[in-house]
Structure 1
């Protein structure tokens, strides 16, 4: 019993302490995906014009990939928030949203953190990443209501928008894991493979 408690405390301390490599990897994810998200941002406008406000939400999950990927690899509270905020800063000179883009990026990071916080950062399965992506995109959509007047849309459109957004988030969760595992298999992040100190395996 005492041995298990000591082990649990050791794992918790390991999760809480950030090292230099954690910071570099989190920042790298934010910077690289900043340019990917810029491309998606500009592609979204014509897509929304074609598909409408509901079905164009399928892209929502892409915007959560940096946060989910950082959490999956680093496994420390704040990884998504830091990665997304750095990405927002990099996007600032190019984004059509200006300074508000940084706020939305930081909020997206918080939205990614919420499901992991609920389980004390202990789950990282594919299913949980899908659920986390869906929760994050739904939260993001709900936060838009007072800004973009989504409540004025018909109930059917609102429901479709939330469902499509959740589906996009689930896809984003799967892509996050696939990209992270690809990096691990290439040996780019050898220190982030399964550790004997951490029972939250990447599976």
Structure 2
């Protein structure tokens, strides 16, 4: 299945992408599923019926959670999670609650992830292809995931229709619920979908060398 795991709706102040537009266009953009990951909220779960929609699209709700050590994509039962918690606590909670914590765009130059995320044994996957990253930033994330033996995922980080589906991930097996998605992530049954252009992999900045 082809999923976009990182999509922002108008519940995120920075996005102009509505739920209606996502539902109407995701299938035409080659997607079997979309996960809504608004900033520090899962309020979208009160506005949509999660699971497989009438048009066959699997619509799920996650969250992009901000910490002082970088950002996490969280998938699972996190509706009651308070904002502003330390990264290490959030990653630990993800495992305790039966969810999945993914490092979001970890080597983005202006929002890098620190050891509270990259050094935590509970991290299950790394976003190695982000639609708003530079090729260099994505390449650094890919090298880190390979070095640590972590699963690799992709996400468009869409804030507009033009971005939706730009960085899909291929998930092995059928995903019809949050639990299905979490199980696939924890088992590593995911891989960024092939892209037509070759990925360049120059050296990353000195800031991230300690993690590579």
User: Which bracket does the TM-score occupy, shorter chain normalised?
Assistant: under 0.3
Larger C-alpha radius of gyration, 1 or 2?
1
Higher strand share: 2
TM-score computed with the length of structure 2 as normaliser:
0.25
Higher helix share: 1
